[in-house]
A = this chain, B = another copy of it.
Amino acid sequence: MTNFTKEVMHVGEMASGAALTVPVYRIKGETGGRSVYIQANMHGAEVQGNAVIFQLLELLREIKVNGDITLVPYANPVGCNHKNGEYTLGRFDPITGVNWNRMYHFDADIIKPFVRKSIGQDDKTIEQNFKALMINSIEKKLDHNNYGLTTGQRIAYQLQRLAHQADIVLDLHTGPISSKHLYCPEYAQESASYFDIPHTLLIPNDFAGALDEATFCPWWQLQEAFAELGINFSISAEHLNKESFTVELGSQEQIDLDVALEDAKSILSYLSYKGVIDSNDFQPQSMTRYACYLKDYKAYYSPMGGMVDYLAEFGEPLAPGEPLARILRMDNYGDGEPLHYLSLEEPVIPILHFASASVNQGTELYKVFANYFTL
């Protein structure tokens, strides 16, 4: 029976003084294998990940766990409690509009000085020192400073401090109305096949504030900086095995505990492949896994205002000219065009679409894979 400990992290205060807290569950690995950090619900409406963490905790009780696993549901106590109408306004801080998943920290200027100081050291030492450097840079951010931290930074940095202590990071999100898809750093493409997720986005070594980037970019840029000096320091699966993913579990505003069980098993199939757990019960399902590079993951903005009847199936290739959606314009009936069919000029795979039928001109209607291929 695998045990876990529970801690409640204090990440802020509301106007009434109400504490903002986040539950942190930790499983101590038995053999010190690769460690894992999994969080869910940093975007307030994207809640399925909480159900997945529930199923993971339930399953892990009966599994031999080698590396430490830290699980953090309700990662954003402001976002997940903020309602406008029935819905959770959870993608950005309602006061500032800043996207909750763009508040993490990474200062690339720490890389080169660190590399110079680490020349000649063995990988293990480099790994420990670099992990300590990153944790320390977050501590400094969190330290009392005269001008303080934003609400979101105080949450993000405390989560990031936990994430930096792990080798593998899974940030559980969902789309608006969406198929399952995985953001995977290009170098970790192989791992994508161990998730039961039919769509993989291969992302480059660019940091834009998200948690996955904040935890793989430093290692990836460290590897590149050593390579520039002709030194082979590898974070690949065969070596230090540093990987971070954003796991998009489907649509927002809903949880399904049965589907969450499947999602949990999909994650355990990956953790099993990584040696974090000892179990043969969790194998990746056989499925067609499509992928594309981030530059080919295209947002399609509505060419007009209107009410959208979303037609295209997720996950199925859509040929050029095939209807993606149709837009109803009941202000045009009788003296204009009341119904408009929208299609694209290249083959794509629709991945997600806007969460409401009502769109303004310029609203992000669909996100699609262009130039896709199968893994």
Contact = CB atoms under 8 A, between A and B. Distances in A.
B334 A4 contact: yes
Given A45-B358, A54-B328, A81 B15 contact: yes
Interface stretch (A185-193, A216-224, A253-261, A277-285): A253-261
Contact of A333 (B54, B300, B306, B333): B54
Given A47-B357, A85-B94, A363-B151, A54 B15 contact: no
A17 B78 contact: no
Pick the most buried of A14, A74, A332: most chain B CB atoms within 10 A of its CB.
A14
A360 B15 contact: yes
A137 to B, nearest CB: 19
A32 interface: no
B255 A308 contact: yes
A326 B98 CA distance: 27
A298 B147 contact: yes
A150 B364 CA distance: 7
A160 interface: no
Given A4-B334, A309-B255, A335-B6, A360 B97 contact: no
A3 B92 CA distance: 45
Nearest to A358: B15
- Which residue among A51, A74, A88, A357 has the maximum number of chain B CB atoms within 10 Å of its CB? A357
Nearest to A44: B358
Interface in A329-375: 329-335, 338-339, 344-346, 354-364
Interface string A77-104: 1101111111111111111111100000
Interface string A307-340: 1111000000000000000101111111100110
A23 to B, nearest CB: 5
Contact of A86 (B18, B54, B95): B95
B303 A18 contact: no
Interface residues of A, number: 100
B89 A85 contact: yes
A114 interface: no
Given A74-B16, A153-B362, A328-B255, A333 B97 contact: no
A20 B360 CA distance: 10
17 contacts: A14-B81, A15-B358, A16-B80, A17-B329, A17-B332, A18-B81, A21-B331, A44-B358, A51-B328, A73-B333, A74-B331, A85-B91, A86-B354, A149-B362, A151-B363, A154-B361, A253-B356
Q: In the A-B complex, list the 9 residue pairs whose CB atoms are closest, starting with the nearest.
A: A92-B97, A151-B362, A148-B301, A13-B305, A17-B331, A97-B97, A73-B330, A84-B84, A15-B358
